[in-house]
Amino acid sequence: MTIHNRILLSLVIAAVVQLSALPAMGQAVWPAFLGQGKTQETHVDALPLTWSPSKNVRWKTTIPGKGQSSPVVWGDTAYVTSIAGNMKETCIVTAISITTGQQEWSREFESAMPTRSNYFQSRSAPTPVVDDNHVVAFFETGSLVGINRKTGNTAWQRSLTTDYGAFESTIGLATSPVQLHDRVFLMIDHEGESYLLAVDKLSGETIWRTERFSRKSYASPSIIDINGSPQIVCSSDGSVDGYDPKTGKQLWTFEELGANSSNTPLLASKDSVLIGASPGMRDVNMADARESNLCLRIVAQDDGFKPQVQWKSEKAVTTFASPMAHIGYAYWVTNAGVVFCYEVESGELMYRKRAGEQCWVTPIGVGDRVYLFGKGGQTTVLAAGPDFRVLAENELWDLDSIPATDPGQFSGRGGRPPASDAAAKNRGASLTAASPDAQPEAAGPDDAESENARPDVADSDAEPSQRPGRPASATAGKPSVTEGNPADVAKAKPMDGKEIEAARTRGENRFADPVQYGVALTADAILIRTGSQLHCISKGGTK
C-alpha cells in the first residue's frame, strides 16, 4: 500500500469513528492525554506548518501556578492544571477560550498531601480528562476533583492519600487519568501500595480497585481496543498489563521487560501496542531499556489473551516521549533527538536520523506530517512515511529572551543547556521552514547508544527491585552494561536525595521553564503548554 493510500485509509477510518460517536462525543476535540477519545477530525491543511515568536501565533496567555501537564479541549475551551506554593499547597484547574486566550474560569483546591515543589519531581504533570459535563483532574499530591465543565463549580473532591495511603515516591507521580463512558481510571504506581482505580465521574465514588505491585513510575495507561473490546493497558516498570474496564480484572500480563517507567502504551496496529523504555538518569537502566522497546501483539485465545513480542527496536530507547504509530509507521525519539522510524507490521527500520532536540512531548501525526515538539522550544515537522524529509523547523521563543527563573539555574535558554553564541545562532536559523530536501546529520552507527547516555532528568533513577514471583530485570543472567568496571559502576549509580539537592544547588537543573511540556490539537490550531504559559499556534495568527 502506498503512503498516499495509507493516508486516505486513515482519514476514512477517522471519519467513520467521528460520525459514529457524534451524538455522545460531538465536541471531544482533545479530551484526554495524547488526545485519547477524540472525535473531531483534524485536517492537516488547517494546521500551521511553520511558526516563530512573531508568526502564526494567535495568542499566548499566562496560566496561574506552574505545571507540566498537557491541555485538554472540549468545544472551544481548553482546560489546564497547575500547582502553586513551595510545598505544592494549591491545586489549580483553569478554563481558557481557544478563540481569545482569555480565562473563562479558574478554581483552586487545597492539596491532599503537600510536598516540596522542585524541578526534579513532577509539577502538576498529570493531564486531566474532559467530557460534555465534567472535568476530572488528578494531582500528584493525591487530590482528585470533579468539576462542572461549563460553570467551573466543584462537583466532588476527594483525597486518594487519605483513602488508600500516602504516596511513596522519590520521583513524584505523573500518571494521567483515562476515561470511558461514565468512568475515569487512574493507575497509581509508586513505592507503596499501588493500584488501578475506577471512579464514577458523576459522584467521584470508587467503582472498583485492583491491586498492583509496587514500583517507581511516571507512566500513564491507555484505553485500547483488543479483539474488538476496550481494555485498560498499563505499561509500568516491570510489566505490561491489560484490564477489563467493567470489573478491573486483569486479563493478561507481560513481564519480560524493564525500565518501562515513563511512557504510555499506544496503539500500533490492530491488537498491537508500542512499548517504550528509558535508560534513566546516568543510564542506570540501559541494559533493560535495550531489551524493552518493542511492539507487543495481544492474541485472543479460547482461554483468554496471550501477549507476544511482534518485534523489538534495535537501538532506539526513549525518554518521556512515548513511541507512536502513524499511517503504518512507528516513531521513537531518543535523548539526543535521533528519530528511529519502523514499519509497524514487520519492525523493519526505515531510517535513523538526527532531527532536532530531545522530546518530552510524544510526537503527533496528522495527515502527511509528524510533529516533533522539542523540549527546548524547537519543533521539527517531518514528512510521514518511510523516507526521512524535514518539512519545517520552528522556534516557539527567542532563545536570548528567556531569563533564568530560579536561583541556581543556568541562564538564557529556557529548557536548554547553555550554548555558545555560534550554536545559538545556528538554532535561530531554523525559525523559517526548512528546505524540503534538508537532511539533518544522520546518526552514526553508535549514536543511539552514546548519545542516550545522559537524559536530563531522573525519569527512572533506580535499578529494578526484586519482586516476589517477578524477574528483577528483563536482562537477568546477561552481562550488565557496567559489569566489571568499577568506574562505570560508580558512574551509573543513581543519585540519592542529598545528591539531587546538591546538583540542584550547583545549577544542574536542566528543565527550567519554559519547556514544551504538553500539546493539544484543535480543528485549526496547536496548543503548546510551557510551564506557566499556554501558546495557541494557528495559520495567520488571529482568528
The whole-angstrom separation of Cα 370 and Cα 379 is: 10
The whole-angstrom separation of Cα 356 and Cα 361 is: 13
The whole-angstrom separation of Cα 322 and Cα 36 is: 14
The whole-angstrom separation of Cα 203 and Cα 155 is: 8
Whether residue 442 lies inside any domain: the answer is no
Give the count of domains, the chain: 1
In this prediction, residue 266 has a pLDDT band, given cuts at 50, 70 and 90, of: very high
- pLDDT of 405 > 60? The answer is no
Beta bridge partners of 250: 243
Whether residue 461 lies inside any domain: the answer is no
- pLDDT of 311 > 60? The answer is yes
- pLDDT of 451 > 90? The answer is no
More confident residue, 181 or 507: 181
Beta bridge partners of 467: 470
The whole-angstrom separation of Cα 290 and Cα 307 is: 19
Note the pLDDT of residue 2: 59
The share of the chain scoring above pLDDT 70, in percent, equals: 74
Secondary element (H or E) of residue 504: helix 497-506
Whether residue 503 lies inside any domain: the answer is no
Rg, C-alpha atoms of the chain:
22
Note the pLDDT of residue 87: 81
How does DSSP classify residue 337? S
Whether residue 478 lies inside any domain: the answer is no
In terms of average pLDDT, the best of 270-274, 470-474, 506-510 is 270-274
DSSP string, 414-430: TTS----HHHHHHHHGG
DSSP string, 27-72: T-SB-SGGGTT--S---GGGS-S--BTTBSEEEEEEPSSB--PPPE
> What is the rounded average pLDDT of the residues 472-479?
43
Note the pLDDT of residue 97: 97
- Could you read off the pLDDT of 149-203 as tens digits, one per residue? 999 999 999 999 999 999 998 778 899 999 999 999 999 999 999 999 999 999 9
Range list of β-strands (E), 384-532: 390-395, 518-521, 525-529
Note the pLDDT of residue 404: 52
**Range in 172-181, 266-275, 317-326, 464-473 the model is least confident about:** 464-473
Note the pLDDT of residue 437: 39
In what order do the strands lie in the sheet containing 143-148? 129-130, 134-138, 143-148, 154-159
Note the pLDDT of residue 421: 40
Count CA within 13 A, CB hemisphere, residue 427: 23
Whether residue 289 lies inside any domain: the answer is yes
- pLDDT of 363 > 90? The answer is yes
Whether residue 520 lies inside any domain: the answer is yes
Instruction: Supply the range of the domain harboring residue 293.
Output: 44-405+512-542
Note the pLDDT of residue 171: 78
Beta bridge partners of 338: 354
- Could you read off the pLDDT of 70-91 as tens digits, one per residue? 999 999 999 999 999 888 899 9
The whole-angstrom separation of Cα 512 and Cα 293 is: 29
Reference 259, options 270, 275, 271, 244; nearest CA is 275
The whole-angstrom separation of Cα 88 and Cα 172 is: 12
Cell numbers 526534579: residue: 120
- What CATH code is carried by the domain that includes residue 211? 2.130.10.10
Contact in structure between 70 and 127 (CB atoms under 8 Å): yes
Whether residue 69 lies inside any domain: the answer is yes
- pLDDT of 226 > 80? The answer is yes
- pLDDT of 370 > 60? The answer is yes
Whether residue 13 lies inside any domain: the answer is no
- Could you read off the pLDDT of 281-309 as tens digits, one per residue? 888 999 999 999 999 999 999 999 999 99
Cell numbers 467493567: residue: 246
- pLDDT of 447 > 70? The answer is no
In terms of average pLDDT, the best of 2-6, 217-221, 410-414, 457-461 is 217-221
More confident residue, 149 or 485: 149
3-state secondary structure 277-316: CCCCHHHCCHHHHHHHCEEEEEEEECCEEEEEEEEECCCC
Q: Which amino acid would we find at residue 415?
A: G
